[in-house]
Amino acid sequence: MKTPISLLCACLPLLAWAAPYTPKDGGTVIEQLPRRADATQVALRGLRQQLSATPGDLGLATGLAQRYIALARSETDPRYLGYAQAALAPWWRQAAPPLPVRLLRATILQSTHQFGPALQDLDAVIAQEPANGQAWLTRATVLTVQGDYAKATAACARLSALTTQLVTVTCIANVASVTGRAATSERLLDLTLQRSAGAAPGLESWALTLLAEMATRRGETALAEARYKKALAQQPRDSYLLGAYTDFLLDQQRPQDVVQLLKDQQRIDALLLRHALALQALPGQQTAFLAAKAELAARFRAAMQRGDTVHQREQARFALFLQQDIPAALQLAQQNWAIQKEVPDMRILLEAALAARNYGAAQPVLAWIAANGVEDTALQRLVRQLGPQDGAKISAAQKAGVL
């Protein structure tokens, strides 16, 4: 049975968010959302009222939670994840909740980087329902972030009989792009997308964002920008897309474009960080920059007090580029590397190691790049800047394809 695209789109990659504040039940008011008179908000209000009257209605609760998860991404508003979790409150702490709850719980857990519990839930769902495409896709997403590429590819392959070709190819290309098969996977994904007319906007945006990232890693800036803009036309408030595109703009020395793009998108810490980095680079923005920097410091401090490690990558960037605290940045980047191994995680650890002039700290990333054939112009530049000063360094750099 083919998994509906609407379900799959709910578990596409999300920009990391801190664990959301979760009210005790779905009827608790935390903050008044904009009372837009659009169909979505009207429907949500109706569903919330129904759930308040019958909080144990499994179908109603999971349907509402699924809509909130989709909105968390499309509206770039982390509060919706808290509302999704609240809708599932009667079952949230159960060791073996009903399958629909377990799948949604895994999606929420992976979005806040609780990868171990998320994988436990996903494995349980798959054991109970091996043809669950959403579970396989979410599992592939988590495993890719963790750097378990073989298992991630295997999870993607299971999708071929469960969903569309575009979903399967995008999933596989996401892994292949960082395991030495970037050119082949980019061509295949581009061709598959061209042949997938009428794809859901969220799915098309996911594929376009990945294609834009691939072009960025090859240094094809014009192509990357065209793809980012096309993706934004589909999903203008997608948090992951906004993060990727603003990183691209920062690398292109275009801070004013970043400020414009993120002027109303600062609820998510990672986007506020990019906004602050852009303000720092602009003349006449000192007051706004200091305010953003202070807000970020407060948010990260609160996260550390909660024991929340979701934002270690962003904290490392904050420490290195906004606080100029190199030892703290290196420590955070190393802690982050122990948890997740995406290209931005490689980059911040190399940047911090370079700033600290600590080649030993860079060695795990250099070895990873060499072992997996990671292709990325920014990483190549950093490896060259670290500078081979002995045989081991030269060997690692040559294996990584940067010398």
Same domain for 24 and 101, yes or no, is yes
Residues 306, 380, single domain; the answer is: no
pLDDT at 28 over 70: no
pLDDT tens profile 351-387: 999 999 999 999 999 999 999 999 999 999 999 999 8
Q: What is the pLDDT of residues 143-186, one digit of tens each?
A: 999 999 999 999 999 999 999 999 999 999 999 999 999 999 99
Residues 6+ apart with CB under 8 A from 360: none
Return the closest-CA partner of residue 109 out of 76, 134, 152, 138: 138
35 and 81, same domain (yes or no): yes
- Can you give the pLDDT at residue 2? 55
The C-alpha atoms of residue 325 and residue 360 are separated, in whole angstroms, by 19
Residue 259 lies in a domain: yes
Q: Is 381 a member of any domain?
A: yes
Give residue 259's domain range: 255-310
**pLDDT band at 29, cuts 50/70/90?**
very low
pLDDT at 16: 53
What is the per-residue DSSP string for 307-339?
T--TTHHHHHHIIIIIS--HHHHHHHHHHHHTT
Instruction: Tell me what pLDDT residue 3 has.
Output: 52
> What distances in angstroms separate CA 261 from CA 11, 211, 215, 278, one per listed residue?
24, 20, 21, 11
With a pLDDT cut of 90, the percent of the chain lying above it is 76
Domain contains 261: yes
Q: Are 272 and 296 in contact (CB under 8 A)?
A: yes
Last residue of a domain, one of 242, 276, 310: 310
Q: ∠ CA(155), CA(98), CA(12), 5° rounding?
A: 40
Per-residue pLDDT band for 399 (boundaries 50, 70, 90) equals: low
- Reported residue count of the chain is 403
Q: Is residue 369 part of a domain?
A: yes
Reported as a single tens digit per residue, the pLDDT across 232-246 is: 999 999 999 999 999
Contact between residue 357 and residue 378 where contact means Cβ atoms under 8 Å apart: no
Are 17 and 86 in the same domain?
yes
Do 329 and 399 fall within a single domain?
Answer: yes
Q: Please tell me whether residues 4 and 105 are part of one structural domain.
A: yes
Q: State the pTM of this model.
A: 0.88
Task: Tell me what pLDDT residue 347 has.
Answer: 99
Tell which residue, 30, 16, 1, has the closest CA to residue 159: 1
**CA–CA distance, 316 with 266 (Å, rounded to integer):** 18
State whether 22 and 132 are in the same domain: yes
Domain ends where: 310, 334, 351? 310
In a domain, 151, yes or no: no
User: Is residue 115 located within the same domain as residue 1?
Assistant: yes
Residue 225 lies in a domain: yes
| Cα–Cα distance for residue pair 275/17, rounded to 1 Å | 16
pLDDT band at 339 (very low <50, low <70, confident <90, very high): very high
Do 35 and 130 lie in a common domain? Answer: yes
The answer to whether residue 264 is domain-embedded is yes
Q: Measured between alpha carbons, how far is 393 from 29 in angstroms, rounded to an integer?
A: 56
**pLDDT beyond 80 at 38:** no
Q: 283 with 377, same domain?
A: no
Could you tell me if 139 and 107 are in contact, meaning their C-beta atoms sit under 8 angstroms apart? Answer: no
- The values of phi and psi at residue 157, to 5°, are -60, -30
Residue 233 lies in a domain: yes
Tens of pLDDT, residue by residue over 243-290, are 999 999 999 999 999 999 999 888 889 999 999 999 999 999 999 999
- 32 lies in the same domain as 119: yes
Which of 310, 336, 353 terminates a domain? The answer is: 310
Instruction: Indicate whether 172 and 107 sit together in one domain.
Output: no
**Amino acid letter, 327:** P
Number of structural domains (the chain) is 4
| φ/ψ (deg, to 5) at 112 | -110, 20
